[in-house]
Structure 1
């Protein structure tokens, strides 16, 4: 696998960094994967200016939507031709097991969604009529009036991607922003920056005009802060932690930029008594989905109190048979977390759970047979209630909390007792009962007996899980300005 040696792509050119060294580690080994000079603050500034210049010149926004779609379809084809390269990079820098089903979600799913997002956008009109009631369609002068909504590009979009799904979270932002006519500065996480440079190769190959997509890799945070505060940037789209999301909200406030935040979660899974057969695969999926590093994962699991002991025993036994190991090993079912700091975070919350009355049923520590790399055992916590720290804070690791409920109202009450609201899950063989429960869950997405991951269905958070939506019509319109045009007669 050939690793990138450039840390930037500005004005259609690969750029060598002039900033601090960017060290990328392999979480499966804990060793340095590569090191390259990151971009300096002045180079990030140049990327913003380049995007602004390209937008103002109309080299992209001035094209018809069908012309933009044609270029972007070639862009997607160029990315798809590098499927194996992207996969190998994500295995190496993010530690996602190559043989796991999650790897398809890392690469195959975003490539599929990208084309579908373009199709969906092409179905949306540039103008829509406002639904004025008949009584308001004739003014006091007796003239017929009309009111229209017009959708236009916003301008320069700063796209800041997450480390857990670096290619996917970047694609969620790049394609909607570009098809809408905006220009983009992409800033990947310093923990997983390498796969972002594949976008540069594809942009050149597809003939994307210079400056329409710029890419900046940096070792620190200064470039990201410049993107969120720069007066030439009109929108910031960010996927990451709630803590950083709060900082970004404060940074964009003085200029009131458009903001999309997809942040942390502490999602609940509620199993009704008739659906306990679905408990084991769903609970195991939390740990096996990229070592629990997914913001929408249902890490709080609510089960009937009379069934809790039996279900805990089944889950503990099943996870004990899971093969933990390096992400590139074909037998690996669960890989590492991203860093030593993330291992320590898992350890901290496991201890906090026990200190507050919880019990470790399985795991709870670093695996002894893997002294190198950033591994943490798949962990099951038996929590006495929802107030436990492990039930209230996002851990972002392979840690599952199981909590008993007395009745369904109790389960719903605990599910909604959270500062987060990204996703939720309800399981029942009675769809009507499941729907009744789902309608009571306060979350941006609620899934009944499984989920839907589609370019046509949006997702987004409530409360500390963020603002704005990604995918779907809402996720496309987010990258457009809305103007009402009124005809007074």
Structure 2
């Protein structure tokens, strides 16, 4: 299934841009040009920002009742639902992800997330009473103290290559439901699937300027989107290094900033859960080839059981099918680029230089001469100070580390500049939950996981600011206004 979306240019203020320079979108499974797309010009970027500002200030979208906004957003999502073949094909081809993952997770879960976000927004109170004590209200001659949640304004939404469509749903839908005007800028590596949002905006009758989609080769447009005073908020998902730059660029105009950044998550196995290690290891690399910020790439196990764990994990990785995204039995495809493949290889070498050992993998798969493929790799490292245990590799590379006791395991899990996610496994849910409470991370999965529009995600430390999804994710796209209301004395 490879049916690419068209048109292949930016959607700016209700029209498709024309006449710009083009750049190639690469197929990482073939190391070839997938297609050419038209890059947004500086004038296109300025027009998108100006139209977003104008549409917000006019109130054409922000002032509509929430129920009316919901009707349009649902039509927008229905239009995307009708683009299944083109969307799935584009997602799989541009990101190198297995077709089954593109369809089930990015497309299917992404649209479900969008629909449920609409329901969540409508279930929340956006104007509510403050719990001010009665004696204070009387003393101030106040009849009502009201907290009102209003849209932030113009939102720049910048998405990553590994989840372009689902991350767009995670940002665009709550921002629109809150009444904001949005400019979406996907990664230049995977711009195709985001073009569908422009077509859906047209089909749903979203007012011009309320949603623009900017496609660019480089970062000039993204820089405007994070510095221009007409933009009120930046929502970014990507690397910590780029997140720092965005934070600095947004500071001069004191923008709202929401960042979901890198991770080096740990999965901790208590002694009674070691039968789960093969499954846990496979989850790190399956579907995304380890290119997921929440991937639990550090496996922490009892030191006395480490050899058995390494054997089990090596066996699981040796059985994983690496191959073309369109093959029905493929479990993991390529990484996104030659540079990313080189990064994986470099960290394997660094791990070995600092006392680590390659248990399985570490190179390029046999029989795949084309494509940016990396073997699923298990590293046996002596401790948590190893470079492969400290830095985000963003590839199919797992480090296994032994711990002395649970205090040691918790200390190692927390010994990281990141804090995005974590996992704890035990037959004793209470014991596992006690460990989970001690982890300095924005989410912890205890024996299971949940991905829901109602459940928040986000990071501690260098893994980000703010939250996406859940009520907190809605509130991220809103300002809070306090109104004290009373009658004038007669």
Q: Normalization by structure 2: what TM-score?
A: 0.97
1:192 to 183, 190, 209: 190
What residue in structure 2 maps to residue 14 of structure 1?
16
What residue in structure 2 maps to residue 86 of structure 1?
87
How far the C-alpha of 1:478 sits from its partner, in A, is 0.8
For structure 1, the residue ranges without an aligned partner over 5 or more in a row are none
Distance in 1 (CA, whole Å) between partners of 2:263 and 2:470 is: 20
8 Å Cα contact 1:54-1:210 kept in structure 2: yes
8 Å Cα contact 2:25-2:34 kept in structure 1: yes
How far the C-alpha of 1:168 sits from its partner, in A, is 0.5
Distance in 1 (CA, whole Å) between partners of 2:482 and 2:127 is: 10
8 Å Cα contact 1:99-1:332 kept in structure 2: no
Distance in 1 (CA, whole Å) between partners of 2:329 and 2:84 is: 21
What residue in structure 2 maps to residue 159 of structure 1?
157
For structure 2, the residue ranges without an aligned partner over 5 or more in a row are none
How far the C-alpha of 1:104 sits from its partner, in A, is 1.1
Q: Residue 99 of structure 1 aligns to a residue in which SS?
A: helix
What residue in structure 1 maps to residue 312 of structure 2?
314
Matches within 5 A, 1:325-344: 325-344=323-342
1:389 to 361, 375, 387: 387
Distance in 2 (CA, whole Å) between partners of 1:314 and 1:17 is: 56
What residue in structure 2 maps to residue 348 of structure 1?
346
RMSD: 1.4
How far the C-alpha of 1:192 sits from its partner, in A, is 0.0
What residue in structure 2 maps to residue 303 of structure 1?
301
Distance in 1 (CA, whole Å) between partners of 2:173 and 2:166 is: 11
Deviations 1:327-348 (A, max 9, x none): 1111211100000000001001
Deviations 1:75-111 (A, max 9, x none): 11100111221110011100000134x6411110010
Q: Residue 384 of structure 2 aligns to a residue in which SS?
A: coil
Deviations 1:116-166 (A, max 9, x none): 111111111221222224553442x7x565422111111111110110011
What residue in structure 2 maps to residue 252 of structure 1?
250
Q: How many residues are matched? A: 485
Matches within 5 A, 1:118-157: 118-139=118-139, 143=141, 146-157=144-155
Deviations 1:144-194 (A, max 9, x none): 654221111111111101100110011111000100101111101000001
Distance in 2 (CA, whole Å) between partners of 1:55 and 1:145 is: 31
What residue in structure 2 maps to residue 112 of structure 1?
112
What residue in structure 2 maps to residue 202 of structure 1?
200
What residue in structure 1 maps to residue 481 of structure 2?
483
1:369 to 364, 367, 372: 367
What residue in structure 1 maps to residue 469 of structure 2?
471
How far the C-alpha of 1:13 sits from its partner, in A, is 1.1
Q: Residue 195 of structure 1 aligns to a residue in which SS?
A: coil
Deviations 1:296-317 (A, max 9, x none): 0111110001111011111111
8 Å Cα contact 1:292-1:398 kept in structure 2: yes
1:4 to 6, 12, 22: 6
Q: Which runs of 4+ in 1 moved over 6 A?
A: none
8 Å Cα contact 1:7-1:17 kept in structure 2: no
Q: Residue 193 of structure 2 aligns to a residue in which SS?
A: helix
8 Å Cα contact 1:17-1:38 kept in structure 2: no
Distance in 1 (CA, whole Å) between partners of 2:295 and 2:131 is: 39
Q: Residue 439 of structure 1 aligns to a residue in which SS?
A: helix
What residue in structure 2 maps to residue 279 of structure 1?
277
Asked if residue 227 in structure 1 is aligned to residue 225 in structure 2, the reply is yes
Q: Normalization by structure 1: what TM-score?
A: 0.97
8 Å Cα contact 2:5-2:195 kept in structure 1: no
How far the C-alpha of 1:207 sits from its partner, in A, is 1.0
8 Å Cα contact 2:28-2:334 kept in structure 1: yes
8 Å Cα contact 1:6-1:17 kept in structure 2: no
What residue in structure 2 maps to residue 293 of structure 1?
291
Distance in 2 (CA, whole Å) between partners of 1:144 and 1:37 is: 57
What residue in structure 1 maps to residue 98 of structure 2?
97
